[in-house]
Amino acid sequence: MIDKAVAQHNIENKKSEEELDLNEIFKPIFQRLWKITLLALVFTSFTYLYLSLLKPSYQATATLQIAGTKPSTTLSIKDAFNESNVSSVQIATQFELLKSRKFAARVINKLNLLDTNEFHNTKYIDQIEYFGESEKVKKVSLETAISIFQRRLSISPVSKTELVKITFTAYSPELAKNIANQVGETYLQYQNDIHRSSQENTSTWLVEQLSDLELKLQVSESALQQFREDEGIVDTKGVVGLVAGELTELTSSLLRTTRAQDDLQVTYQYIMQNQADPRKLIELHEINNNAAFIKLRSIEDTIERKKHELSRRYGPKHPKIIAIQAELDSLKVRIDNKAVVISQSIVKDYFSIKEKVKATDNRLKDAKANFLRLSRLDNKFSQLQREVQTNKELYKSYLIRFKEADAMEGYKANLYVRFIDRAATPKSPISPRKKLVLIVAFMLAVMMLSVIVIARDFLRDTLNSQHKQDNFAEADIIGVLPKYKVDKKQYGLFGDDERFIESIDALRASILFHQIRKVPKIFAVTSSVSEEGKSTVASYLARSFGEMEKVLLIEADLRRPTLAEKMNLSVHRPGLSNLLANTHPIEQCIIRDTDYKLDILTSGVTPANPLAFLSMKRFKLLLNSFENYYDRIIIETPPINVVSDALVISKLVESVLYVVHENKTKREQIRQGLKLLQQVNAPVEGIVVNQSLIKEHTGYKGKYYNNASNIVKLSSRKRA
């Protein structure tokens, strides 16, 4: 039972993860639902405007029967094999005739369609009707009218029947009916014309063709026999194959010998240039790899080592030194002579392979000439053979046709054609189907816009989804803060956004219990670039810690300070820079916020070189003195990717909080900032994702925290 319960629990967890993934995918759509709907409605409105400009189209259909018939007393060759006297190909041919340009021209002329407005205007409402103009429309040509006619005509055979549907689409319902019926009438007249026309005497024509083919066959056979006797040819294929094989072998041999000659040529030229200098000949790869030469060099190395050992004990004029030097000189002479001998052997090999290349090339030329001669004979022989074979096949084919014509003399195959249903006047248009098109247009617009929104959100290189945050491995994400709602009526440093304040309290708890270590007393708050909310995070975090500790908030961003402006203080009020410059006492620089039990040290007057101020030893001494008085010190620093101030401050603190904007900060910017902090071994606590739009379960949370009965008021903590 326990195992089943565990399995069921795992299945439920898996389902919840899948639902979370779907929420992540469709979250951008829910966030921009009104925009997507509005744009889809705009697209649908344009579609409706386009549909209102289209003319209504009407469709009429007539039905014909096209079947085969024959006299019952006639017997044909096909009847002997139980085949129909009219094949499917012939029937298909009749369908194509109905769609031909010739039929279209006949119908247009019969009904005088060029004098109507059917082919004059486009599918849009007439200019005269829509804009009230009186200008006459130009008359179209017959070719243009035929092209339009063919596009609107549809010939559809009914499956497994002898029926065919003739459908025509027109802007006039009466004209659609007349044209569909006239196409059928024109086809009936065409069949009558075929039966009235006479046919050529095919038998006489076949006899004439057979006589000519017989003569051609005799001439081609004589030419083939004469060529065999003149050239003494029995079979050219085997000889040509042997010569081709020899040609291939000689070509491969020539390539190999030529490649070997090219390889030796460079060595040969080097030997000729340095034949008087054995020392340079020794540098050749072929000489160095010679077994005898390697052995001599090994002996030389042995004597060199022995000489080196003796020179450490004896002077240069000692007999042993003189003897071993003489032995070494003799060996060097042998080495030089061996190098010369090997080089001469290489030269001989070069001339030998050069001659071999020349001989192989001559043999290859002879083989090519022989192959070309045999190829010409083989081509001529094949040409004569093909001519004989072609004449035989033609003669046989015409002879068979002549016999069939004799057997089928007097037989006629007729098509039986009649109207089954004539077209009626259509009562309602078939297009445009406005409701269906508008629904499809709206759905397609919503789908396309949704895909674009999802793709844009997915391709954005930020931490704007739970999936991206979970897969960010460069640092721990210790807090996610919701989008901070700025109250225009807000006075002072802090607002009353309860969701943001609760998230800050959760971040405080995460810092206190993030790792099993001593909780940092001094930590800095930085970011990648500006406008990521690090000042807000630092201020609210100081307020959160101030609820239970003595906290000092230091604004160390001396370049673009913001705290003094938010607190409605003068920008010239003394602060951190004044303390570092030792122009004002601490009492004049630190502000005590009694409402939130918080001490604040603003940046003060902006110095010319803020980095030099922050690099002073006095700044470290100030932090040490503050550490003795305050429980927690929070330092707001400039962006890490913009200036180096944060790197200097990170060496003086116990922890660094890295604030990023969920939708603006690129992941590459985060990695770059973390890399800079790692280079100076800064104690990075983790990443705080700010301005998050990730969907939260705010319903229960709002009820829980907004219930006044849950709140217990505590007395204010007295400050020292």
Per-residue pLDDT of 295-304, as tens digits, reads 777 787 787 7
Could you tell me if 125 and 49 are in contact, meaning their C-beta atoms sit under 8 angstroms apart? no
Both 180 and 312 in one domain: the answer is no
Q: Tell me whether the omega of the peptide bond preceding residue 278 falls within 30 degrees of 0, making it cis.
A: no
CB atoms within 10 A of CB 578: 22
Give me the residues of the chain with pLDDT under 50, please. 1-7, 9, 12-20, 70-85, 127-135, 198-200, 410-413, 695-720
The predicted pLDDT at position 134 comes to 41
Distance CA 542, CA 599 (A): 9
Rounded CA gap, 227 and 215, in Å? 19
Tokens of 37: 């709907």
205 lies in some domain? no
DSSP code of 597? T
Place of tokens 């109207």: 419
Task: Please check whether residues 372 and 265 belong to one and the same domain.
Answer: yes
- pLDDT of the residue at 81: 35
Q: What is the C-alpha R_g of the chain?
A: 51
CATH number (domain holding residue 97): 3.30.1890
By the 8 A CB rule, do 641 and 676 touch?
yes
Burial class of residue 366, CB neighbours in 10 A (0-12, 13-18, 19+): exposed
Distance, CA of 9 to CA of 14 (rounded, Å): 9
Give CA–CA dist 3/580, Å, rounded.
66
> 538 and 677 in one domain?
yes
DSSP state of 47: H
- Residue 111, domain extent: 58-197
* Residue reference for tokens 């009466």: 174
Contact 634, 553 (CB under 8 A): yes
Cβ within 8 Å of residue 411, ≥6 positions away: 70, 74, 76
User: CB–CB of 51/438 below 8 Å?
Assistant: yes
Same domain, 281 and 361: yes
Task: Tell me the C-alpha to C-alpha distance, in Å, between residue 539 and each of 29, 84, 488, 567.
Answer: 33, 96, 18, 11
**Alpha helix positions (H), 529-662:** 534-546, 563-566, 576-581, 586-589, 610-614, 617-629, 645-650
Report yes or no on 597 lying in a domain.
Answer: yes
Is position 482 within any domain?
A: yes
* Residue entry with tokens 């069949």: 191
Beta-bridged to residue 69, according to DSSP, are 414
- Under DSSP, the state recorded for 32 is T
Answer whether residue 412 is part of any domain.
no
Question: Distance between CA 93 and CA 155 in Å, rounded?
Answer: 12
Reported as a single tens digit per residue, the pLDDT across 450-508 is 888 777 777 777 776 776 777 787 888 888 888 876 665 566 677 777 888 888 888 88
Question: What is the model's pLDDT at position 636?
Answer: 92
Nearest alpha-carbon partner for 355 in 260, 275, 249, 248? 260
Note whether 684 and 472 are within 8 A (CB). Answer: no
Residues 399 and 521 both lie in one domain: no
d(CA 176, CA 107): 12
Q: What is the pLDDT of residue 68?
A: 64
Q: How far is 490 from 197, CA to CA, in rounded Å? A: 102
Residues 159, 95 share a domain: yes
pLDDT in tens, 512-545: 887 666 788 999 999 988 888 888 899 999 999 9
CB contact burial 553-571 (16+ within 10 A = b; e otherwise): bbbbbbbebbbbebbeeee
- Is the separation of the CB atoms in 62 and 187 below 8 Å? no
- Using alpha carbons, list the distances in angstroms from residue 7 to 10, 13, 45: 5, 10, 53
Is 146 contained in some domain?
A: yes
User: Quick check: 474 and 670 in contact, CB under 8 A?
Assistant: yes
Report pLDDT digits (tens) over 196-215. Answer: 554 445 667 777 777 787 78
Residue 413 lies in a domain: no
| Residue count (the chain) | 720
Paired tokens of 207: 């006899």
Distance CA 222, CA 6 (A): 96
Q: Whose CA is closest to 467, among 9, 5, 27?
A: 27
- Tally of domains within the chain: 4
Instruction: Give the pLDDT of residue 524.
Output: 93
- Rounded Cα gap, residues 625 and 613, in angstroms: 18
241 and 279 share a domain? yes
- Judge whether 218 lies within some domain: no
Which distant-in-sequence residues (6+ apart) come within 8 Å of 434 by Cβ?
48, 51
Nearest-angstrom CA–CA distance, 527 and 532:
7
- List the strands of the sheet with 414-421, edge to edge: 153-157, 163-170, 58-69, 414-421
Taking the alpha carbons of 177, 179, 185, 191 in that order, is the dihedral positive or negative? negative
Do 531 and 646 have their domain in common?
yes
505, 594: one domain: yes
CATH number of the domain encompassing residue 672: 3.40.50.300
What CA–CA distance (Å, rounded) separates 127 from 112?
Answer: 23
CA distance 169 to 175: 9
Q: 28 with 68, same domain?
A: no
**Do residues 244 and 333 both lie within one domain?**
yes
Using H for helix, E for strand and C for coil, what is the string for 349-403? HHHHHHHHHHHHHHHHHHHHHHHHHHHHHHHHHHHHHHHHHHHHHHHHHHHHHHH
Cβ–Cβ under 8 Å, residues 368 and 247? yes
CA dihedral in degrees (669, 674, 675, 678; nearest 10)? 170
Strand partners, 527: 659
Give the other-Cβ count within 10 Å of 58's Cβ: 22
- State the pLDDT at residue 366: 75
Closest CA to 303 of 319, 323, 278, 289: 323
DSSP code at position 431 = B
Could you give the CA distance from residue 132 to residue 491 in angstroms, rounded to a whole number? 65
Domain for residue 485, yes or no?
yes
| Beta-carbon contacts of residue 587 (< 8 Å; ≥ 6 apart) | none
Backbone angles phi, psi at 357, to 5 degrees: -65, -45
Same domain, 454 and 481: no
Calpha distance 652→661 (Å, rounded): 25
Inter-residue contact 425 to 654 (CB < 8 Å)? no
CA dist 506 and 701 (Å) reads 13
